[in-house]
Chain A
Amino acid sequence: MNHGLILPIVLPMFIGCLLLFGARLSIPVKRSLSLSSAAVLVPLSLWLMGQADQGGLQVYALGNWQPPFGIILLLDRLSALLLVATALLAFFALLYATRGDDQRGRNFHALFQFQLMGINGAFLTGDLFNLFVFFEILLIASYSLLLHGGGPERVRAGLHYVILNLVGSALFLLAVGVLYGITGTLNMADLAVRVAAATADQAPLLGAAGLLLLVVFGLKAAFLPLYFWLPRAYASATAPVAALFAIMTKIGLYSILRVYTLIFGDDAGMLANMAQDWLWPLALLTIGLGVIGALAAGSLHGLLAYLVVVSVGTLLAGISLGTPQALAAALYYLLHSTWIAGGLFLLADLIARQRGDKAAQLIQGPALQNPHLLGILFFVGAISVAGLPPLSGFIGKLLLLRAVEPGLQALFFWPVVLGGGLATLIALSRAGSTLFWRVGLSQLDSAELDRGRLLACIGLLLLSPLLVGLAAPLLTYVEATAAQLLDLQLYRQIVVPGGAS
Chain B
Amino acid sequence: MEALFAGALGILTASGVYLLLRARTFPVVMGLTLISYAVNLFLFAMGRLQTGVTTVIGANAGYADPLPQALVLTAIVIGFAMTAFVVVLALRSVGEMKTDHVDGRESAR
Query: Chain A: residues with CB nearer than 8 A to chain B?
Result: 129, 133, 136, 140, 143, 147, 151-152, 155-156, 158-160, 162-163, 166-167, 169-170, 173-174, 176-178, 180-181
Q: Check if A159 sits within 8 Å of B78, measured CB to CB.
A: no
Say what secondary structure dominates the interface of chain A: helix
Cβ contact within 8 Å between A166 and B104: no
- Decide if B97 touches A152 in the complex (CB within 8 Å): yes
A163 to B68, CA, bound (A): 25
B75 contacts chain A at the CB level, 8 A cutoff: yes
Q: B35, A181: Cβ atoms under 8 Å? A: no
Question: What chain B residues lie within 8 Å of A176 (beta carbons)?
Answer: 43, 71
Query: Which residues from B are CB-within-8-Å of A156?
Result: 93, 97, 103-104
Q: Which residues of B contact A147 (CB under 8 A)?
A: 89
In the complex, the chain A residue whose C-beta lies closest to that of B71 is: A129
Whether A170 contacts B36 by the Cβ 8 Å rule is: yes
Chain B residues contacting A158 (CB-CB under 8 Å) are 89
In Å, the complex CA distance between A174 and B72 comes to: 11
The reply to whether B85 and A159 contact each other, CB–CB distance below 8 Å, is no
B16 to chain A, nearest CB (A): 9
CB contacts (< 8 Å) of A136 on chain B: these are 78, 82
Q: How many angstroms from the CA of A358 to the CA of B48 in the assembled complex?
A: 60
Question: What are some 5 contacts across the A-B interface (CB < 8 A)?
Answer: A163-B32, A170-B32, A170-B35, A170-B39, A181-B47
CB pair B102 A160 closer than 8 Å: yes
Residues from chain A with a CB closer than 8 A to the CB of B25 are 159
Set of chain A residues within 8 Å of B90, measured between Cβ atoms: 159
The answer on a CB contact under 8 Å between A159 and B102 is: yes
Interface residues of B (CB under 8 A from A): 20, 25, 28, 32, 35-36, 39-40, 42-43, 45-48, 67-68, 71, 74-75, 78-79, 81-82, 85-86, 89-90, 92-93, 96-97, 102-104
Q: Select from chain A the residue with minimum beta-carbon distance to B41.
A: A177
Q: A163-B28, A170-B35, A170-B36 are in contact. Are A155 and B82 (CB under 8 A)?
A: no
Contact A162 B85 (CB under 8 A): yes
A222 to B31, CA, bound (A): 23
Q: Indicate if the CB atoms of A167 and B32 lie closer than 8 Å.
A: yes
Chain A neighbourhood of B82, CB < 8 A: 136, 140, 162, 166, 169
Residue of B nearest to A172 (CB): B39
The residue from A129, A133, A166, A174 contacting B86, defined by CB atoms under 8 A apart: A166
7 interchain residue pairs of minimum CB distance:
A181-B46, A156-B104, A177-B43, A177-B46, A152-B96, A173-B39, A170-B39
Which B residues touch A160, using CB under 8 A? 102
A162 to B82, CA, bound (A): 9
Q: How far is the CB of B88 from chain A (nearest CB, A)?
A: 10
Cα of A174 to Cα of B9 in the assembled complex, Å: 12
> B42–A174 contact, CB under 8 A?
yes
Contacts of A129 in B (CB 8 A): 71, 74
Q: In the complex, A337→B43 CA distance in Å?
A: 37
Give the shortest distance, in Å, between A90 (CB) and chain B (any CB).
23
Given A167-B35, A174-B39, A177-B71, 5 extra CB contacts under 8 A: A152-B97, A163-B102, A166-B36, A177-B46, A181-B47
User: CA–CA, A99 to B84, complex, Å?
Assistant: 32
With A and B bound together, what is the CA distance between A75 and B35 in angstroms? 35
Contacts of A163 in B (CB 8 A): 20, 28, 32, 86, 102
A129 to chain B, nearest CB (A): 6
CB-defined contacts of B42 to chain A, threshold 8 Å = 173-174, 177
Q: Would B74 and A133 count as touching, CB distance under 8 A?
A: yes
Q: Note all chain A residues with C-beta closer than 8 A to B89.
A: 143, 147, 155, 158-159, 162
A436 to chain B, nearest CB (A): 33
Residues of B within 8 A of A159 (CB): 25, 89-90, 93, 102, 104
- A147 and B91 CA atoms in complex are apart in Å by 14
A155 touches B96 (CB 8 A): yes
- A178 to B47: give the CA distance in the assembly, Å: 10
- Chain B residues with CB under 8 Å of A169's CB are 78-79, 82
- In angstroms, Cα B67 to Cα A140, docked, is 25
Complex Cα–Cα for A159 and B45 (A)? 31
The closest CB in chain A to the CB of B43 belongs to: A177
Bound state CA distance, A159 and B94, in angstroms? 11
* Minimal Cβ-Cβ distance residue in B for A158: B89
Nearest chain B CB to A62's CB is how many angstroms away?
Answer: 14
Which chain B residues border A174 with CB–CB below 8 Å?
A: 39, 42
Q: Which residues from A are CB-within-8-Å of B79?
A: 169
Which residues of the partner chain B approach A166 to less than 8 Å between Cβ atoms?
Answer: 32, 36, 82, 86
Pairwise interchain contact A155-B39, C-beta atoms closer than 8 A = no
Please indicate the chain A residues that have their CB under 8 angstroms from the CB of B74 in the complex. 129, 133
A212–chain B nearest beta-carbon distance, Å: 11
Of all chain B residues, which has the CB nearest A144? B85
Q: Are A180 and B85 in contact (CB under 8 A)?
A: no
Q: Are A133 and B46 within 8 A (Cβ)? A: no
